[in-house]
Amino acid sequence: MRFLSAADPEIVREALAVELPDLEVKSLRLTTQGWDNHTFVLNDEWIVRFPKDEEFQSAQERWVTEALQGVSPVPIPHLELTGKKIAFAGYRMLPGVLLSEAWPRCEKSEREAVVARLVEFCAAMHTGLRVDDALANGVIREDLAFGFVRASVNARSEWANVARRALARVDQGAYADCVVHNDLHGDNILLDSTTHAVAAVIDFGDLAIGDPCLDLNYLLECDLQAAESIARRYAAAGGGEVDPERILDLYFLMTLEDYLDPDMPPDERAKLRGLLDPYLARFGNR
């Protein structure tokens, strides 16, 4: 399977003409340049994502979005377009605005309601999908090696001691495998533009099998001090018992791992630094 050589609308038009010859391309615009995908709005009706590398999981994403119909408490995409020769996936646009954009305008009560709803989504996904079915559909287990972090803990750095302690706790902890979204950040969550309620969860391209806290830790981007309330809400929603300390540890380690990635674009690294600094200020002595 081939991948786009560049995020060029003309190249995309040519690719769509090959893959979907009966589809008339009336309009096409690049909407985001993410870490994993080039994302376009097609005909003001479709979201079409072109992955940048071979980690593209079209079959797995199609499986999970179909399996979650009737399971997820919030709307999710239904993949209707997929490439056979050129890697891409497309779904009809869901209404809403990105959480990452809407969050500064949300009231405290709205923010709490968003976190609560996303915890419900996590619990439903983690308990409503069978790991055996995921494995049968080619979903892989998430590797928690944290190679960049482990390589940094012997260097002089402000996070070395924090990372060493967090790694020790994560390595010693136990968890039950489940199917996780694995990329539940603010650009993959849509909010209603008026009420700021959760309108949809999108982009299941990093789907994996692993620790439920792989999803729950992303919610700390909404409220860094919410680990205990997230764990309580998750258990109340039927997701089972999780350790709030593990949510915090994975939030820190996953953020730091991405921050230390030498291939991380400078603008993305700056955003990650903006997440690390408040964590280190509040939890650096854990």
* Per-residue pLDDT band at 54 (split at 50, 70, 90): low
Q: Are residues 123 and 260 in the same domain?
A: yes
Q: Whose CA is closest to 78, among 116, 119, 46?
A: 46
Burial of residue 144 (CB within 10 Å: 0-12, 13-18, 19+) is middle
Residue where a domain terminates, one of 92, 114, 145 = 92
Residue 16 has pLDDT above 80, yes or no: yes
Quote the Cα angle for 137-201-73, to 5°: 90
Q: Are residues 71 and 108 in the same domain?
A: no
Q: Are residues 38 and 159 in the same domain?
A: no
Residue 258: the pLDDT is 96
Q: Are residues 223 and 279 in the same domain?
A: yes
Joined together, the tokens standing for residue 167 give: 């790694």
Residue 184: the pLDDT is 97
Dump pLDDT digits (tens) for 208-229.
999 999 999 999 999 999 999 9
**Residue 85 included in any domain:** yes
Residue where a domain terminates, one of 28, 62, 92 = 92
Residue 34: the pLDDT is 67
Dump pLDDT digits (tens) for 128-186.
999 999 999 999 999 889 999 999 988 888 899 999 999 999 999 889 999 999 999 99
Q: Are residues 88 and 104 in the same domain?
A: no
**Containing structural domain, residue 259:** 97-283
Q: Are residues 125 and 81 in the same domain?
A: no
**Residue 189 included in any domain:** yes
Residue where a domain terminates, one of 31, 65, 92 = 92
Q: What is the pTM of this model?
A: 0.92
Q: What is the CATH number of the domain that holds 78?
A: 3.30.200.20
Residue 58 has pLDDT above 80, yes or no: no
Residue 156: the pLDDT is 81
